């Protein structure tokens, strides 16, 4: 069993220094409460509702700035894994990114491929598959928010032997029909069940420039069963779960071995 924390934070696009402080404080609180893997929301160093590119530039992190060095040191000292969504400046471009930090340092970073809403005004879309890396706590994949709505994308993480999928997210509340749990969570459950992955999604809370959030951070087991789910307030949810070691779902079925990819190829070209 491994203890996972998903940190649901109240962030402010007008105060990136506060965003960084809130995110770091959440990491430290989660560690004090026994978390070994900690997931933070999308764009947790900057907020989300940018008015112009100047705000993106002013709040961006780099892979070797003070924030990243601080998180690397925290991970090293406490032997934890941190997965965080950040506004990242790298290779002369701005990315809606997710970083994975282990006790040995930065393991890798991922750029969101499926940009949502106005994100394309500010960020370059990624063109690489989900990041899947070996860490001290297991084989971890990451993607961001809207990415998880594309079943093919989650399947790539499974095929790359991921045990846990960490999803920094900002699920916007846009008048969706209320369901229990929210449909955003149902999609996470389906992805976990279909791919035999533990999934931890860290969402937002509060309001930002008139936009509010679904505020439904969630941790599921590899059968898609909810282990912990947030309410609408800023909070950290926890769950101790076992990471899967195979893809067996019955004594006669394996979700990887039962695939017939030759029959599916057409959908990839539609």
| Distance (Å, whole) CA 177 – CA 234 | 22
Tokens at residue 37, please?
């893997």
The whole-angstrom distance between residue 113's C-alpha and the CA centroid of its chain comes to 13
Examine residue 181 and say whether the peptide bond preceding it is cis (omega within 30 degrees of 0): yes
pLDDT of residue 66: 97
Task: Judge whether 37 and 200 are in contact, CB under 8 Å.
Answer: yes
pLDDT of residue 265: 83
Domains plus CATH for the chain?
Answer: 2-269 (3.60.110.10)
| Distance (Å, whole) CA 161 – CA 148 | 17
Task: Judge whether 244 and 197 are in contact, CB under 8 Å.
Answer: yes
| Distance (Å, whole) CA 46 – CA 126 | 19
With tokens 């928010």, the residue in question is 145
pLDDT of residue 264: 87
Task: Judge whether 164 and 198 are in contact, CB under 8 Å.
Answer: yes
Alpha helices for the chain (secondary structure H): 16-32, 53-59, 66-78, 151-159, 183-195
Dihedral of alpha carbons 147, 148, 149, 152, sign: positive
Instruction: Enumerate residues 6+ apart whose C-beta is below 8 A from 170.
Output: 41, 42, 43, 48, 85, 145, 203, 204, 213
Report the 3 state secondary structure along 72-97: HHHHHHHCCEEEEEEEEEECCEEEEE
pLDDT of residue 269: 74
pLDDT of residue 107: 98
| Distance (Å, whole) CA 100 – CA 165 | 11
Name the 3-class secondary structure at 119. helix
| Distance (Å, whole) CA 87 – CA 95 | 6
Name the 3-class secondary structure at 262. helix
Per residue of the chain (270 residues), give pLDDT as tens. Answer: 999 999 999 999 999 999 999 999 999 999 999 999 999 999 999 999 999 999 999 999 999 999 999 999 999 999 999 999 999 999 999 999 999 999 999 999 999 999 999 999 999 999 999 999 999 999 999 999 999 999 999 999 999 999 999 999 999 999 999 899 999 999 999 999 999 999 999 999 999 999 999 999 999 999 999 999 999 999 999 999 999 999 999 999 999 999 998 888 888 777
């Amino acid at each position: 069993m491994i203890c996972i924390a998903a940190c649901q934070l109240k962030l402010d696009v007008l105060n990136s220094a506060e965003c960084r402080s809130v995110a770091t404080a959440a990491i430290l609180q989660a560690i004090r409460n026994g978390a070994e893997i900690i997931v933070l929301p999308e764009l947790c160093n900057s907020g989300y509702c940018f008015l112009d590119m100047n705000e993106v530039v002013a709040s961006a992190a780099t892979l070797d700035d003070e924030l990243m060095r601080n998180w690397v040191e925290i991970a090293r000292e406490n032997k934890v894994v941190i997965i965080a969504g950040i506004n990242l400046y790298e290779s002369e471009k701005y990315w809606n990114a997710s970083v994975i930090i282990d006790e040995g340092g930065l393991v890798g970073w991922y750029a969101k491929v499926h940009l949502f809403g106005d994100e394309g005004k500010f960020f370059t879309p990624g063109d690489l598959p989900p990041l899947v890396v070996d860490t001290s706590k297991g084989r971890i994949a990451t993607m961001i928010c809207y990415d998880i709505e594309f079943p093919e994308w989650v399947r790539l993480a499974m095929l790359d032997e991921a045990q846990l999928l960490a999803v920094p997210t900002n699920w916007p509340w846009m008048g969706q029909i209320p369901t229990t749990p929210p449909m955003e969570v149902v999609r996470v459950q389906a992805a976990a069940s279909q791919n035999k992955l533990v999934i931890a999604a860290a969402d937002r809370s509060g309001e930002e420039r008139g936009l509010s959030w679904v505020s439904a951070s969630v941790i599921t087991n590899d059968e898609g069963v909810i282990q912990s789910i947030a309410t609408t307030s800023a909070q950290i949810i926890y769950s101790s779960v076992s990471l899967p070691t195979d893809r067996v779902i019955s004594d006669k079925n394996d979700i990887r071995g039962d695939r017939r990819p030759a029959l599916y190829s057409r959908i990839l070209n539609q």
